[in-house]
Amino acid sequence: MSESIKSARALAAALVLALAVATASAQSAPQPRVQSLLVTQVNAWQARYHENLAGIDQMRIALAEAAKTDPQIDTLIALAKVCFIFGDVRAKNPEEKLDAYDQGREAAQHAVKLAPNNAEAHFWHGTNTARWGQTKGVMRSLFLLPTVKREIKTVLELDPSFPPVYSLAGNVYIEVPSLLGGDLDKGEEMFRKALELDPRFTSARVGLGKALIKKSRLPEARRELEAVLEEKAPTNLADWTMKDSKRARELLESIKGKS
């Protein structure tokens, strides 16, 4: 039996167990062991979600029920992760995206309240909030910018070796208007820092390519984007498959024939 089939069956078993626990009566005793199993599955599955896209929907439901029944910190963070993935690759329209990111930021915000020094909780709150704003429209969501910046600052203080926070910061710097703190040089710096920490972090390399395009450094941008497509062992294979490789091709096409 292939490893992917074994993993899919293990995930299905975890989902069945978690849903059974989450839908038990309010008088039932909490089942943290089963919920911890579900969180463990999420952490192993998040780099392979492309193998079973429907599993994202099931995982979101299971985690939402688990978080409602017994809102442990790890469960809330896992829910925030899965909501972000759902919004990025499963949502069929902007409304579904906004709903997923909103659910994710609420879960992460709850985790932050329970564990103020948890860097992941702050990161997923900032990330879901930023994506919600990006989906809604940057100019219509500027009121969220202080929250995103605060969460970036907090994560950097708690764990400066966490590559994704630099990618989040880089995207904020290159997307926000300069009058409101946008800065292409700082954006490039943040993406390069992420890649210094994790050279196979293809999302950050796509971001760097985009920043270089905005700075009209097209030959450099082309090299970075081609490196994304040539990457043989991305840190997150699912993200590379579903998002990063596709975005790299789109950006390369946008500068085709330009110098």
Task: Please give the share of the chain, as a percent, with pLDDT higher than 90.
Answer: 78
For 160-219, how does the pLDDT look when each residue is reduced to its tens digit (9 = 90+)? Answer: 999 999 999 999 999 999 988 999 999 999 999 999 999 999 999 999 999 999 999 999
- Contact (CB, 8 A) for 187 and 174: yes
Domain 161-245 bears CATH identifier 3.40.50.1000: no
CA gap 209, 154 in Å, rounded: 26
| Alpha-carbon dihedral 161, 164, 165, 167, rounded to 10 degrees | 120
In 3-state terms, what secondary structure has residue 161?
coil
Q: What mean pLDDT do residues 131-147 have?
A: 91
Q: Do domains 14-20+31-151 and 161-245 have the same CATH topology?
A: yes
With cut-offs at 50, 70 and 90, classify the pLDDT of residue 41: confident
For the domain bounded by 14-20+31-151, which CATH number is listed? Answer: 1.25.40.10
Burial of 233 (0-12, 13-18, 19+ CB in 10 A): exposed
CA gap 106, 129 in Å, rounded: 9
Lowest mean pLDDT among 103-112, 138-147, 246-255: 138-147
Contacts of 171 (CB under 8 A, 6+ apart): 130, 187, 207
For 227-254, how does the pLDDT look when each residue is reduced to its tens digit (9 = 90+)? Answer: 999 999 999 999 999 999 999 999 999 9
Q: How many CB atoms lie within 10 A of CB 175?
A: 16
- Contact (CB, 8 A) for 76 and 111: yes
Q: How far is CA 40 from CA 7, 15, 196, 217, in A?
A: 12, 12, 28, 42
Residue 188 is predicted with a pLDDT of: 98
pTM for the predicted model, two decimal places? 0.85
Task: Give the total residue count for the chain.
Answer: 259
CA gap 88, 13 in Å, rounded: 25
For 70-95, how does the pLDDT look when each residue is reduced to its tens digit (9 = 90+)? Answer: 899 999 999 999 999 999 999 999 99
Q: What mean pLDDT do residues 13-34 have?
A: 39
Sequence ranges of the domains in the chain: 14-20+31-151, 161-245
With cut-offs at 50, 70 and 90, classify the pLDDT of residue 114: very high
Residue 95 is predicted with a pLDDT of: 97
Which has more confidence, 239 or 21?
239
Q: What mean pLDDT do residues 6-12 have?
A: 44
Which DSSP letter does residue 182 get? -
Average pLDDT of the chain, as a whole number: 88
Q: Distance of alpha carbon 102 from its chain centroid, rounded?
A: 13
